Each structure stands twice: as structure tokens, then as C-alpha cells.
Amino acid sequence: MSSDGPFSDTHASIPDAASLDDAAALRLLSLYTAFGADAAIADEPQDRFSESARPEGNRPGPIAPRPATMREPAPPRQAEPRVPRSIPAGTGIGRGGGESQLAQSAREAARSAADLDALRAALLAFDGLAALRQRATNLVFADGNPEARVMLVGEAPGADEDRIGKPFVGVSGQLLDRMLAAIGLDRSRFYITNTCFWRPPGNRKPTEAELVAQAPFVSRHIELINPAILVLVGASAAHTLLGTQDGITRLRGRWFDYRSDGLARAIPALPIFHPAFLLRQPAQKRETWADLLKLKARLAALAMPA
């Protein structure tokens, strides 16, 4: 191996992890993580590079399933939630007609939660999201001040959030904190959560079915916090809570009414760009600054200066 450790060479010499010392094995793991390979899908590694170098007919088939005795118990079989193709405006995902059994049981579990601790417990007890939960380290429920009048709802936890168990603690969360600090808001003055409570494997976007299944918990979360203002951080939150599929570029910076059965009044909701998008497209920070000034003005109008 060269002095650069196991990463200096081409794939032809990717080392056998068993032959590495701890430091080198950790470097190899962090390389895999950086590539997005952060979940084991089989017990034994499969060297796809040497397979693809072999002549066609001589390649192994897909990974054989593990014998039943080695498998974790299968999660209870669940009907795939029926997802409305187009969601009527103003109803929110999962609140339209044709509710699946999974969405119904999520709604019953969420509705019975009388406070935040009960809602967290109901989420932990809900068995409709086994595939998502089995790969995550922590439930990422919320952070900030539950008494705050401003509530932010993002998309889904990433690796840092999954490790720590709090939303928006990674780089994009730090950018969001800095942007909100610029209008005088910190986590003692807002409450923050996500539309998806577990990290989707490999940082993929949550599927629509996953969002539908969690939507009743998100709605109940909003009812329990009962904020004066909602900020919808990114497209997933805006789509889930406003029941529209319009692009975030069209939605951001406009005030919408968020309604739910358990709320006596509509809550003004402001979609903004997701900070992860702003990290990729820093030129768009100008738009978000304009949106945050609207939030600041609305807070001032409600006699709640930021």
C-alpha cells in the first residue's frame, strides 16, 4: 500500500477491510460514506469491479438472499399506501379522499397523542415505517422552543441529524440558523421539525408514500405547538402541508393558509428555499433574504418582533 493509505490507488487495489488496521478501516468507511454507501445490504461484500471485468456469461447473478435463519425478523407485511396522484390544493397530503389503511392507522395514532411526549411515543410505536426506521439511528423529532410562535418544518434528517437526534444540526441547518439569526430568531424563539422523522437511507428524498404515512404526525405536531406562523423549508414541506405540487420557486415568498381539522383557525405559512439548495445555489440567498424580511415584517405586525 502506498503512503497515502488505502485510497491512493485505483479500484483494482481496494483493500480487503479485514486486512486493515483500525485507522485505515475507519478511513475506508468514511470514503464509503462520502460516496453515499452508508447502509449494508448484504453480509458479504461483492466485488462488482472484478465481476464487470469478467467475460459476460461468467458473471455471478444478483446477491443471493440470506437463508431464513440469518435474516432479521421480517417487518409485518403492510399494504402499500395508496398515494393520491394529484393532491387537491389546500387539503395537504394524506388528507384527501382514498386514505389507505396505513394512513388511517397513522391518523388514529397521531390523533390520540395529547402532548409532545405522547406524539413522540406514538411515532416510536408506529410500525408502518419499518423500512425507514430499521436503517436510521435515531428518531429526529424536534428542536427549539415548544412555546415559540414560529414553527419551521423541513424535509428529512441527514447523517448529522440522525447521529445526534435533532433536526437541522448539519451544514444546511447551520446556514438556516445564521439566516434566521439575521432577523433576530434563534432556537429559543422558534421550534423546528421535519416532514420525515427518520433519515432516509443514503440521504435520498423521502418517498411520497413515506410522507403520506407521516403526514398525520406532522399535522398533529403543528396542532400541539399551535404556532402563530409556519415556515415551510423546502419543497417537501410545502407540498406535504399545502397539498400542492407547484415548484418551490413558485411557492416561496408567498403566504398561504395552513389548515387542519384539529385547528380552529388557519395558520399563515411561508414556504422558503431549503438551505441545502442555497448551499448549491448561493445566488438564490438573495430571494431567501427577501422572504425572511417578509417573515420579520409579519412577526412585527403580530406584535411579536423578531
Taking the C-alpha atoms of residue 122 and residue 119, their distance in angstroms, rounded to an integer, is: 5
Computed on alpha carbons and rounded to an integer, the radius of gyration of the chain in Å comes to 22
Q: Which is nearer to ligand URA, 161 or 210 (CB)?
A: 161
Residue whose Cβ sits closest to ligand URA: 154
Q: CB of residue 234 vs ligand URA: minimum separation in angstroms?
A: 6
Closest separation between CB of residue 224 and ligand URA, Å?
19
Binding range to ligand URA, per CB under 6 A, among 43-51, 129-137, 155-163, 247-255: 155-163
The minimum distance between CB 168 and ligand URA, in angstroms, equals 4
Rounded Cα distance, 279 and 281, in Å = 6
Cell of 216: 398525520
Q: Which of 81, 128, 158, 253 binds ligand URA (CB under 6 A)?
A: 158
Gap between the Cα atoms of 210 and 234, Å rounded: 17
Rounded to 5 degrees, φ, ψ at 177 are -60, -40
Distance of alpha carbon 268 from alpha carbon 33, whole angstroms: 39
Q: How far is the CB of 21 from ligand URA (least distance, A)?
A: 34
Q: How far is the CB of 172 from ligand URA (least distance, A)?
A: 5
Examine residue 157 and tell whether it contacts ligand URA (CB under 6 A): yes
Extract the C-alpha cell encoding 211. 410522507
CB of 236 to ligand URA, least distance (A): 7
Site string for ligand URA, 191-220 (x = CB under 6 A): ---x--------------------------
Strands 190-194 and 150-154: parallel
Stretch that binds ligand URA, among 5-13, 20-28, 160-168, 263-271 (CB under 6 A): 160-168
By the rule CB under 6 A, 144 interacts with ligand URA: no
Q: Are 227 and 153 in contact (CB under 8 A)?
A: no
Pairing status of strand 190-194 against strand 229-233: unpaired
Strand arrangement, sheet containing 256-258: 143-144, 190-194, 150-154, 229-233, 267-272, 256-258
| Contacts of 94 by beta carbon, 8 Å cutoff, 6+ apart | 103, 106, 107, 211, 212, 213, 215, 216
Least separation in angstroms between residue 146's CB and ligand URA is 17
Residues 173-192 that bind ligand URA (CB under 6 A): 173
Of the candidate spans 90-98, 118-126, 168-176, 220-228, the one that interacts with ligand URA by CB under 6 A turns out to be: 168-176
Return the number of the residue (168 or 256) whose C-beta is nearest ligand URA.
168
Residues 6 or more apart from 158 whose CB is under 8 A from it? 170, 172, 199, 203
Contact positions vs ligand URA (CB under 6 A): 154-158, 161, 167-168, 170, 172-173, 194, 234, 276
